[in-house]
């Protein structure tokens, strides 16, 4: 472990920061794609209400469409809300979309949250939709609040997401890896653990003075009062390059996969035993869902993919820490 570099050289750090900022600006979605998404969402809402009038059906975007971490290749996640419970029949919904010129329609009725997947050839947008799972709107609001607190969160999260997509580490359902949402939680917790911290713990702040919102026995409320956090992370002056390097180092060499649990809700690492997760199945990589704390977001990771993910953290760390790569791999952030 004595070979593990703690920080980059001043030169390396400056270069990485410049490259990171450049890549970030390239990853930001174009106005044109943002516009297509908006029109697509309006179209969904119009078609649904034309077919089933009088049910006050609304289409709420969530995920990267709402959390400021969208890039051109992101899908659109939407939650359809209605008091008309029949619409929760996802297969009926899937048929409806297929009859309205949507393509690649897939109905996943048995999932924890039943969804319908569609692709709209008119706007070239892929979409995952659920009906009445409003919890996803809450955790999206939480992510967005964290992104808005410090200017470094957005570029870091977008670049880590980009890296996960390049390295095929972003397929929870099919690949045994992690969803973007889980990756974002890893970044947030890393930033909460900096000294001094770059991000606060939204669940702990002002918890006495706001109304509780209890779902399944857990208070899902959190502080979203941005004014309270003005300048919060400024005492920490680490650059984006330093933080990106630190992120890879943290999960490559410091985080203990055997005993630690990532907890954004508590702003620290929990132990598997204190959560009772030492006997849990699929507990190779433990990431507590911040609102539904009984859920392990890492439960898609098995022994083999856990090794793969660790290797990828080490590979990225190795590329960034090698002087030989300065101006080469790092220059264009060519991770793949
Ligand atoms: N979500 C969740 N639990 C998960 C995965 C996702 O509650 N295990 C919800 C979250 O509300 C999240 C949203 O689904 O914000 C979208 O998840 P995902 O597509 O993984 O993240 P995005 O931010 O949309 O990233 P991308 O741009 O890659 O689609
Ligand atoms: Mg998404």
CA of 126 to the centre of ligand 2 (A): 9
Model confidence at 330, in pLDDT bands (50, 70, 90)?
Answer: low
Q: Which residues have CB under 8 Å from 230's CB, separation 6+?
A: none
CA of 53 to the centre of ligand 2 (A): 28
Q: Which of 164, 175, 179, 288 gets mutated to test ligand 1 (max ligand atoms within 8 A of its CB)?
A: 179
Which residue's CA is the nearest one to ligand 1's atom 29? 74
The pTM score is 0.96
Distance 138 CA to ligand 1 centre (A): 12
Nearest CA to ligand 1 atom 15: 63
pLDDT, tens digit, for every residue of 82-123? 999 999 999 999 999 999 999 999 999 988 899 999 999 999
Closest protein CA for atom 26 of ligand 1: 74
Average pLDDT, the chain: 94
Better-predicted residue by pLDDT, 111 or 286: 286
Going by their DSSP bridges, the two strands 115-120 and 214-215 should be labelled as: unpaired
Among the listed residues 241, 250, 254, the one whose alpha carbon sits nearest the alpha carbon of residue 186: 250
Q: How far is Cα 16 from Cα 14, in angstroms, rounded to an integer? A: 5
Q: Which CATH architecture has domain 31-135?
A: 2-Layer Sandwich (3.30)
Give CA–CA dist 41/30, Å, rounded: 17
* For the chain, domain boundaries: 10-27+150-325, 31-135
Say what percent of the chain tops pLDDT 70. 97
d(CA 254, CA 314): 11
Among 64, 161, 293, which is best to mutate for testing ligand 1, by the most ligand atoms less than 8 A from CB? 64
**Nearest residue to 123 via CA among 35, 36, 246:** 36
Architecture of domain 10-27+150-325: Orthogonal Bundle (1.10)
CA 140 to ligand 2 centroid distance, Å: 10
| Structure token pair of residue 292 | 């539904």
Same fold, 10-27+150-325 and 31-135: no
Atom of ligand 1 nearest to the CA of 136: 11
The DSSP element (H or E) to which 321 belongs, if any, is: helix 303-321
Residue range 44-63: mean pLDDT, rounded: 98
3-class secondary structure for 146-187?
A: HHHHCCCHHHHHHHHHHHHHHCCCCCHHHHCCCCHHHHHHHH
């Amino acid at each position: 472990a004595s070979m593990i570099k703690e920080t980059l050289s001043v030169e390396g750090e400056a270069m990485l920061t410049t490259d990171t900022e450049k890549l970030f600006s390239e990853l930001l979605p174009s106005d044109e794609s943002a516009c297509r998404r908006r029109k697509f969402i309006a179209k969904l809402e119009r078609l649904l209400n034309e077919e089933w009038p009088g049910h006050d059906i609304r289409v709420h975007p969530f995920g990267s469409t709402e959390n400021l971490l969208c890039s051109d290749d992101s899908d659109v996640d939407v939650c359809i809300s209605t008091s008309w419970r029949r619409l929760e029949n996802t297969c009926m919904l899937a048929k409806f979309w297929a009859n309205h010129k949507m393509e690649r329609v897939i109905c996943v009725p048995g999932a924890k949250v039943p969804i319908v997947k569609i692709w709209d050839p008119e706007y070239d947008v892929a979409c995952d939709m659920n009906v009445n799972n409003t919890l996803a709107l809450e955790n999206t609001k939480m992510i967005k609040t964290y992104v808005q607190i410090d200017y470094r969160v957005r570029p870091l999260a977008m670049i880590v997401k980009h890296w996960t997509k390049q390295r095929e580490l972003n397929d929870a359902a099919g690949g045994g890896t992690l969803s973007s949402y889980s990756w974002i939680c890893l970044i947030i917790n890393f930033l909460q653990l900096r000294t001094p911290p770059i991000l606060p713990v939204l669940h702990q702040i002002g918890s006495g003075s706001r109304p509780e919102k209890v779902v399944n026995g857990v208070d899902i409320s959190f502080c979203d009062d941005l004014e309270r956090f003005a300048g919060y992370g400024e005492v920490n002056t680490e650059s984006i390059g330093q933080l990106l390097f630190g992120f890879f180092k943290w999960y490559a060499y410091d985080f203990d996969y055997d005993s630690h649990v990532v907890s954004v809700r508590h702003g620290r690492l929990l132990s598997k035993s204190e959560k009772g997760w030492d006997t849990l199945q699929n507990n190779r990589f433990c990431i507590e869902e911040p609102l539904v704390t009984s859920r392990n977001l890492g439960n898609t990771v098995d022994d083999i993919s856990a090794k793969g993910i660790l290797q990828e953290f080490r590979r990225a760390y190795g590329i960034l820490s090698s002087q030989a790569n300065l101006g080469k791999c790092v220059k264009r952030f060519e991770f793949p």
